[in-house]
Structure 1
């Protein structure tokens, strides 16, 4: 391309390129690129001119060339497919009439901050430095599947899948289903299988449509703090088998639609503190088969929709009971610690919400967590709740025996209850037989009658103080002796069963 073919605005860019100097066409620092469609020729640059500069632009000895342009209207399509560009590209606050085509390109660095684009196609893109799209407004899909970014990806404050001239972001993101049909046909942000050498910084991202991160590998952290993901009735964040080097931050995240992290590897924190997850009628959070260091839902709003944590391994789980929804899937979930510290009774309500019904493993995990915390009393409470829950799965005759063990000794977890029963029966028998002495079977051979030890002989089948065999009660006291004998056998049997169960747990 000859310089004679250029407009005055394009000539400014052409002459600045070999010097690596910037060209700022903005009239004011707060110019809104959403209004770029009305900008005149003094702010218009053809995409073919930018392509010619990047592929075979002029150079000057001793200078580092680079494209640095701000506040321009870029007409046509910037097509760099499969090209190798050795110069950094910085196109800030620009208005693109067509989305750039960067599929398979190799770039040094790409900056599109605060620009307005109809879409962006950059699958299999390779960037030696950073990819910066902070504050961008992109109505159509952003395709970055399979991209390899040596530095970081910046999407902080970007608005995707929303009309760039939408007057109110919140209103746009709460529009009814179908209001943005084009944004729903494919992911609004496609980052599946990307490899990022540093971080994904997307704090404050607003996305109407799906964010897809399936199979992505992020060496540092992924940051979605204060993000708003709106895809109701569908999957808002699709991040199966995502792997991050440190944390996945999503504090104050608002997700309208499912958050799917199945199979993710997050060695430190999955931080959903203060988040609002909503997908009524479906799953709000799916984090099954994950390996997570710490899962934080501290002070998060009550989750609207089901939660699936099946088969995940989590070191620390921080979630208040009131945050859990009515439906959960936690079979195979393993964790070592629970915070905040709460009584077992408050934690047990979660196990009753399991969609699969009674899960012995879930009770064992909760027991182990309390034992790790050194709270043996809470651990016993959980084990007792497990046996009571199991009792409901048994036949009627077995449930009756379970009720008896629960009433008498709390399945062995409440041994003092048996002592209370024995003491009550001992006092009852002692008082009754003291008022109405049984007659001796052999008056000349019988020992002196002792109502206390006579009652003990009746209650405890393993003792013999010689009282029961020497005296025979009559009338109502005879019926009382039968009751004491039967009750003593029942108590002895249930105590033995409880002790055996306790020893087997030890």
Structure 2
């Protein structure tokens, strides 16, 4: 009995047929699958067959199962927009598969296949699962799996030895189940700058793909919707894993995985919504940038024991990220590069206990504007070789640096319930607590750094209670240049004036205004005031304490500065030109200010000498009828 007769008899009763490597023409299979079925039990079940010719089932409707195992196709099957029942090519060698727009009423089983061409499932609708476990998709430098806009009612399983040398594209895919990449390997080398667009015309699909120059895209799940989770435990991906704008109803876990894309983004979750949380723990290694910019993470963000490496760049960039639970970076978490939590919002606590952040030439931890509903712990052996910046942070509980090894800490304008500054050793850089608001402040005199900025610090309780001389030593560590200039009625005897500006005191209703008078006798434009300051001379004012002389200081022609003209020598306050010296060391002259007109009912004040003491109370304003 020849091969054709054996295939027809086995097909009629749905019996598996082992051909032992014999050749089967594709035209015979097309005749059986598209013709009238001889019995209700009809099914095509071939083992160890060698299919010659091209199997073309485009736009056909096949109502019986198509199961080919451990066989070989010499040309890629064409299933373009076909309607199929349960279909499988398990452990079969394929030069590719064209199934764009195909509809499968059941599973599409591609387990253990060896494909040297693209598996094209663009726009396919599969009622069951897509099974790719143990499959090898070998298309280096191109797209191995093209499943854009795929609609999958089950799971996508590509694990247990799955290997892809090329990109897995699932842009805008909809998966009712989960995506399983456990123990999978994906290798996607960077595209060449002059790489031509990738076309699929040889498979009947006229669309093209233009690769991004220099980008190595391993897994593309941008804008995908996955109702289950994305699982990549112990996976190895050389190239970018991208889940931008995706919606994941479960977890995204890469426990023990190795994600490598040096000098670029290793994992991108920008603006994604991951309801079940993000887990990269158990020794997960990320070489490249881990991005979660604008991501909403439900439940928890866990990086326990992970190793992130992107020297000179961002190891973790979670700017404007929203986490519904805690952020856990404990138990050996290591990052080489900057960890950025800029404007992040965390409903729970943030843990960095024992973490090691290495970025010696920049910022190790940037948490400017972070808002946490609970504590933020950078303690218990926490080490940062660069700055730790928490400007304008809002910590709902305790901000702790106990037993931490730090280079410098900047907490300008931050707010916390408790602040613990008992470092393991004095920070080598600056401790900036300017305008910090805290209820309880704990510190240790033995670990005070040499440079402490305390302007505007507000606290309720200091622990421990030290003697006043010790606290004065703490205050004395603030550099002189950063202190506020004291208000004094006379300038320093030598040296230039302080550069900190103090607003000129407002005119009382009884004082005259220089310049164009407005309602109430107030000057406009220059802001000149004729009354001396009641609290002393402003730091930038001339020695006489008279505001008009300073307000009418000329513009320095060499440097173009006005109000930065700083007198070095004491000028006499007259109505004629007076020599001044600008901070740029250029000699200029003061134009005589206009004569101040006294307000009705008030006496004018002389500006020939500084006031002897505080100004007397202003005279009441004259009535409009006077």
TM-score interval for Structure 1 and Structure 2 normalised by the shorter chain: 0.5 to 0.7
Deviation at 1:202, TM superposition (A): 0.9
* Equivalence for 2:77: 100
CA distance in 2, matches of 1:369, 1:337: 10
Q: For 2:293, which of 297, 300, 310 is the aligned residue?
A: 310
TM-score relative to the length of structure 2? 0.54
Tell me whether 1:196 sits opposite 2:162 in the alignment. Answer: no
* Equivalence for 1:332: 320
Q: For 2:8, which of 2, 5, 14 is the aligned residue?
A: 14
Distance change >3 Å, CA 420–CA 237, structure 1 → 2: same
Counterparts in 2 of 1:7-156, with a 5 A limit? 8-26=2-20, 39=21, 43-60=22-39, 63-156=40-133
Counterparts in 2 of 1:402-421, with a 5 A limit? 411-412=457-458, 415-417=461-463, 419-420=465-466
CA distance in 2, matches of 1:92, 1:44: 14
SS at match of 1:237: strand
CA distance in 2, matches of 1:105, 1:353: 59
SS at match of 2:465: helix
Deviation at 1:301, TM superposition (A): 3.6
Higher helix share: 1
- CA RMSD in angstroms, aligned pairs only: 3.7
* Equivalence for 1:33: none
Q: Is the 8 A contact 1:193 1:217 kept in 2?
A: yes
Deviation at 1:405, TM superposition (A): 11
Deviation at 1:391, TM superposition (A): 4.8
SS at match of 1:13: helix
Q: Is the 8 A contact 2:433 2:453 kept in 1?
A: no
Tell me whether 1:295 sits opposite 2:289 in the alignment. Answer: no
SS at match of 1:282: strand
Larger mean Cα displacement after TM superposition, 414-423 or 238-247: 414-423
Distance change >3 Å, CA 58–CA 303, structure 1 → 2: closer
Deviation at 1:264, TM superposition (A): 1.6
Larger mean Cα displacement after TM superposition, 110-119 or 198-207: 198-207
Q: Is the 8 A contact 2:228 2:251 kept in 1?
A: yes
Distance change >3 Å, CA 303–CA 190, structure 1 → 2: same
Distance change >3 Å, CA 11–CA 143, structure 1 → 2: same
Unaligned 5+ runs, structure 1? 1-6, 27-38, 163-182, 393-397, 428-506
Q: Deviations over 1:28-56 (max 9, x none)?
A: xxxxxxxxxxx5xxx11011100000000
* Equivalence for 2:567: none
Q: Is the 8 A contact 1:337 1:369 kept in 2?
A: no
Q: Is the 8 A contact 1:161 1:208 kept in 2?
A: yes
Tell me whether 1:319 sits opposite 2:303 in the alignment. Answer: yes
Q: Deviations over 1:312-335 (max 9, x none)?
A: 011211103652334132111111
Q: Deviations over 1:55-97 (max 9, x none)?
A: 005503xx42111111100001110001111111001111000
Q: Deviations over 1:347-394 (max 9, x none)?
A: 694999999995523x32485677xxxx97643559x99x943559xx
CA distance in 1, matches of 2:362, 2:35: 63
SS at match of 2:237: strand
TM-score relative to the length of structure 1? 0.66
CA distance in 2, matches of 1:115, 1:307: 37
CA distance in 1, matches of 2:230, 2:291: 18
SS at match of 2:133: coil
- Which structure has more relative contact order (CA 8 Å, sep 6+)? It is 1
Unaligned 5+ runs, structure 2? 191-215, 332-350, 378-394, 414-430, 436-448, 474-626
Q: Is the 8 A contact 2:305 2:329 kept in 1?
A: no
Number of residue pairs matched? 374
Q: Deviations over 1:81-126 (max 9, x none)?
A: 0111111100111100000000100001111000000010000110
Distance change >3 Å, CA 24–CA 282, structure 1 → 2: same
CA distance in 2, matches of 1:10, 1:354: 73
CA distance in 2, matches of 1:16, 1:322: 55
Counterparts in 2 of 1:314-463, with a 5 A limit? 314=297, 315-320=299-304, 322-326=306-310, 327=314, 328-335=316-323, 336-339=325-328, 344=352, 346=354, 349=357, 358-361=366-369, 363-365=370-372, 378-379=398-399, 381=401, 388-389=409-410, 391=412, 411-412=457-458, 415-417=461-463, 419-420=465-466, 422=468, 424=470
Distance change >3 Å, CA 13–CA 400, structure 1 → 2: closer
Higher strand share: 2
CA distance in 2, matches of 1:126, 1:262: 27
